[in-house]
Structure 1
Amino acid sequence: MAPPSGQIRPGRYLAFFVFIVVLLYTLVFATGDHQAKPKLGIDLQGGTRVTLSARTLDGGTPERESLQQARQIIENRVNGIGVSGTEVVLDGSNIVITVPGDQGEQAKELGQTAQLRFREVVQVVPAETPPAQQPPASEDPGATPPPSTGASTPPTGASTPPTGTSNAPQGRPAPAVAAQPEEEPSQPPTSDPPADDTADDESETAKQIQEAKAVRQAATLVPSEDGTVQADPAAQQAALAALDCSKPDPLVGNDDPDLPLVACDQEGTAKYILTPSFLQGTQISDANSSVNPEGVGYVVTLDFKSEGTRIWADYTTANVGKQAAFVLDTQVVSAPEIREPISGGQTQISGGAGGGFSADEAQSLADILKYGSLPLSFDNSEAETVSATLGLASLEAGLIAGAVGLVLVFLYSIFYYRMLGVLTGLSIVLSGVIVYAVLVLLGRWIGFTLDLAGVAGFIVAIGITADSFVVYFERLKDEMREGRTFRSAVPRAWVRARRTILSADAVMFLAAAVLYVLAVGQVKGFAFTLGMSTVLDLIVVFFVTHPLVALAAKSKFLSSPKMSGLGKVRRTGGSRAETRGRAATKEA
């Protein structure tokens, strides 16, 4: 037989709450790293802040839409790499990435433009030797083998390096004549008087890009497709001489895919003359890293979309024996020889002359290629280490203030409610037990990190939890003022207080949800913890506070006026009941 409305079996409710606590802490200690520690944000544990400065080809201000798109792509890369607690926000024309802990090196790579293009290799020479001193390819075809042969393409092929270059120039100009004109324009800025310090940096960047394109992307670097125009050896040698592999490349993210390109490999040990791009990296459908099955290190495996698969199959069929360079942001990642047509399946990229990437390099490249190229190019990342000293000091001050506030609340509750005040303190402690376990699990499952804003959300939520107790206890006092005993007042007070508690928590949760959707940055953490604490407040009130009050009502000792603190309310309620009885007698 079910109990009357408002009456419950307290033992069942408390047992269910104990089950929840045991389940949560079993997951805490049995999963993940088995450490009961929540993940902390950058303001509590320190970390790295990386600033990416956007740039455009003409040196103008980037469009807001392009910046938003770049921010979203970088955020997707963060999620793919698994860097937890990271913030990606716009600051003018900059994108600021904040990474807690020791994951700053990963964040520096998130701003790569990742414009992968496939180009045919025309010529390759060592970077450390001036091009004018190289013998013509017709005299010694095996003297300049490509230093980065990459993984085989397809993966099952043999790893035979190419023996020469297919379209090497036959002549060479004198080095002083070929190289000097290209270097002269770059000399005045370094020797000008301090007046040049006021020049526009963006204009200077645009000038460098245009100068590099004019030399290293000249149309005469390679023969025309129809064979009517031959390559200009002088232009080739001038472009090779102008390229310095030890310096940052101004063409990163700004090269024209429809023009030839002179580029370095990633190690800076070789220079390549490449044809216009025949396949774009946007045709990649998936990218993953794995152990190199035919050598040392790791490789990146690419899957193409339907159109990309067709283009790649046609190219490999018509160019067996030639090299195809995988060019990432104007750097040759790998230049393997095509040993047989690839009609479908996967293609591998390996890095460097050693035949493979490291595990971190392969995973980073795969993630960048998988989550798309940025619509803008960015200057080199500027990273700064953020100390947690200030955040920890603020946290310590906040915890001290919160502890003092809780002690005052407990003292006032005990003074005003006595035994009910003790139940209030116990309920808040048990609420903290659940909150801590949930924080640890959310940090593992969804990467939630606790920062100062989140701590503020929890402190505010304590007031919401205490307010629920006050609503219940005051309703209980109202019932006793009507002349009911403590035991009979508990179920009736709960029925009426329950509606108020649910309504108040629903409004608070709705406000937290709206704030979470509309807010950015740390405000989201405040909204999240506030909403989560509101939900956990209902669990504590329903499965702890109400059952404990019901148990106290059944105990003669705990329900005595001296212990409950409701003796004055009882006397007032009894006097009012007696007065109403006398009034009714007189009327009769």
Structure 2
Amino acid sequence: MKSKVKSTIVFFLCLIIIGFLAYSGAYGVTLGGYELKPFSKVITRGLDLQGGVSVLEEIQGKNVDESTIERTIELLSLRVNKLGVSETVVAREGKNRIRIDIPGKFDAKEVTDGVAKTGELKFVGPDNKTILTGKDVKDATASLDSQNSSQAVINLEFNKDGTKKFSDATAKFIGKKITIYLDEEVLTDPQVDAHITDGKAIISGNMTLKEAQRKANLIKSGALPVTVKPVQVKTVGASLGANALPLSILAGEIGIGLVMLFMLLYYRLPGLIADIALALYVYIVLAAFANIGVTLTLAGIAGFLLTVGMAVDANILIFERTKEELKSGRTIKASIDAGFRRAMTSILDSNITTIISGFILYSIGTGSVKGFALTLIIGTILSMFTAITVTRTLMKLAANMGWFNHKQTIGTFGVHDFRKGVVK
């Protein structure tokens, strides 16, 4: 009797928690001044769901080293951020291509002209005259300040021409600032504290090592270190993107709803338990998308819905194995344990092969294929957790409460013999 009461309390406590999570994920909740935002506000949406411009730039030239490509991506990121758009994506694609996704911008020419131009790095004195350019910079690195280990500095080294120009400027502007510009944007404006004649200077200030490294890379690059050429430009209209999202959500709701209805009608109480686990699964997956920073696209939604079907498929394997154990004469609890144990091999085989396929797609795919693969991998991993752990726990709690002692609750499991506690 104590076990039944305890199982009942735990079961309904699980229902309350899962129900709260599902509601907060769908509509958001405010508790004591702390707001849990709905997933619609925290998950980053791709261009095909909100509209914008996608540009695929190709690096011109052969045998470009990795450090040069990284500096190019850093510079392109800086230029894209100047457009004032949030949720931009600048990422390497393949061996020598860089994809730039800018949501909310619809002038493709403005984007391509703005991010792929050669650019110019220049040192400007307080008299607004250019002292030297990026061509005069030999090297720029970042390091921790020897006198203050909590602060970082930028170490500059100039070539022969740059050394002479910088020496003349520092002699002229002691106590004044020399501003370093990149594409008319101020990178830093340090004050000249001494006459520097050896072509080596240190820029100090309130900088973290990461920030100093970023600025050093930009100064060292001077401008884009390589020429990039747009090989693909795609514009998704605002109205098309706006229509795609609600239609995608509707398709997802219908698909998940039909799956839940089938499970409920065919398996009854076990199907209801599978539906509860599925609701938790949807929440966990979307929470993972939000925390990892997944950019959700139409292809990603397709991958997510595919994993929903796989999560239910695992439950079906478990229920069918449980049914076979019941027919062999085992008790309800023993059948549940055996059903989960014997279905495990099939579940692991199917899911592991799917995960391997997802990793292959992600490693060699591009664009929307990567989005599909990422959502597929995350969803498949989490589906195993809910199917194996959550469903099993709820099934055992329901069995302890005696809910499987009535033939009306077990759907197609068989005809129950109440005296023997087995299924004929």
- Which of 149, 169, 193 is 2:125 aligned to? 149
Given the two structures, how large is their TM-score scaled by the length of structure 1? 0.51
Letter in 1 for 2:248: G
SS at match of 2:44: coil
Q: 1:491 to 1:347 in 2, by over 3 A?
A: closer
> What is the SS of the residue equivalent to 1:484?
coil
Alignment partner of 2:255 out of 394, 402, 405: 405
Work out the CA distance in 1 between the residues paired with 2:334 and 2:170. 92
- Residue 48 of structure 2: aligned partner: 43
- Counterpart for residue 139 of structure 2: 283
Aligned equivalent of 1:75, options 70, 73, 78: 73
CA contact (8 A) 1:10 1:548 kept: no
8 Å contact from structure 2 (residues 362, 369) kept in 1: yes
Taking only the aligned residue pairs, the percentage that are identical comes to 24
Q: Which structure 2 residues correspond to residues 517-536 of structure 1 after superposition, within 5 A?
A: 517-536=363-382
Question: How far has the Cα of 1:511 moved from its partner?
Answer: 1.7
Which residue of structure 1 aligns with residue 116 of structure 2?
111
Change in CA separation of 1:303 and 1:420 when aligned onto 2, cut-off 3 Å: same
1:304 aligns to 2:175 (yes or no):
no
1:345 Cα offset (Å): 5.3
Return 549-558 or 311-320, whichever deviates more.
311-320
Mapped partners of 1:309, 1:34: distance in 2: 55
Which residue of structure 2 lines up, in the alignment, with residue 129 of structure 1?
none
Kindly state the Cα deviation for residue 393 of structure 1 after the two structures are TM-superposed: 2.7
Structure 1: how far apart are the matches of 2:216 and 2:106?
A: 18
Amino acid at match of 1:387: G
> Which residue of the partner structure matches residue 424 of structure 1?
274
1:437 maps to 2:287: yes
Change (3 A) 1:397 1:487: same
Equivalent position amino acid for 1:149 in 2 = G
CA distance in 1, matches of 2:161, 2:10: 71
The structure-2 alpha-carbon separation of the partners of 1:507 and 1:422, relative to structure 1 and needing over 3 Å to count, comes to same
Letter in 1 for 2:137: G
User: What aligned pairs does 1:411-490 form with structure 2 within 5 A after superposition?
Assistant: 411-443=261-293, 448-490=294-336
Which one has the bigger helix percentage?
A: 2
CA contact (8 A) 2:263 2:274 kept: yes
Structure 2's unaligned 5+ residue stretches are: 1-6, 144-151, 206-213
1:375 match: 225
In the alignment, which of 317, 320, 341 is matched to residue 196 of structure 2?
341
Paired with 1:384 and 1:511, the residues of 2 have a C-alpha distance of 28
- 1:86 equivalenced with 2:84 (yes/no): no
Q: Which of the residues 74, 99, 102 maps onto 2:102?
A: 99
Change (3 A) 1:400 1:473: same
- Report the secondary structure of 1:504's partner residue: helix
**Aligned position for 2:209:** none
RMSD: 5.4
Q: 2:148 matched to which residue of 1?
A: none
Structure 1 residues 330 and 464: alpha-carbon distance in aligned structure 2, compared to 1, 3 A threshold: closer
Give the whole-Å Cα distance in 1 for the aligned partners of 2:264 and 2:234.
Answer: 50
TM-score, L = length of structure 2: 0.67
Q: Residue by residue, what CA displacement relative to the aligned partner does 1:187-239 show, whole Å, maximum 9, x if unpaired? A: xxxxxxxxxxxxxxxxxxxxxxxxxxxxxxxxxxxxxxxxxxxxxxxxxxxxx
Question: How far off its partner does 1:490 sit?
Answer: 1.0
Q: Quote the offset at 1:503 in angstroms.
A: 3.0
Q: Is the 8 A contact 1:322 1:338 kept in 2?
A: no
What secondary structure, in the 3-state scheme, does the structure 2 residue paired with 1:283 have?
Answer: strand
CA distance in 1, matches of 2:261, 2:371: 31
2:353 matches 1:495: no
**1:557-577 deviation per Cα after TM superposition (whole angstroms, max 9, x unaligned):** 443212112563658xx9x99
Q: Per-residue displacement from partner, 1:308-334 (whole Å, max 9, x unpaired)? A: 599977875577645899897899989
Q: Which has the larger radius of gyration?
A: 1
Change (3 A) 1:437 1:278: closer
Aligned length, in residue pairs? 378
Counterpart of 2:246 in structure 1 is 396
Corresponding letter in the other structure for 1:563: T
Distance change in 2, residues 1:108/1:39 (3 Å): farther
Displacement of 1:35 = 3.7
Q: Against the structure 1 CA distance between its residues 97 and 460, is the aligned structure 2 distance closer, same or farther, given a 3 Å change threshold?
A: same
| Rounded Cα–Cα distance in structure 2 between residues aligned with 1:304 and 1:485 | 75
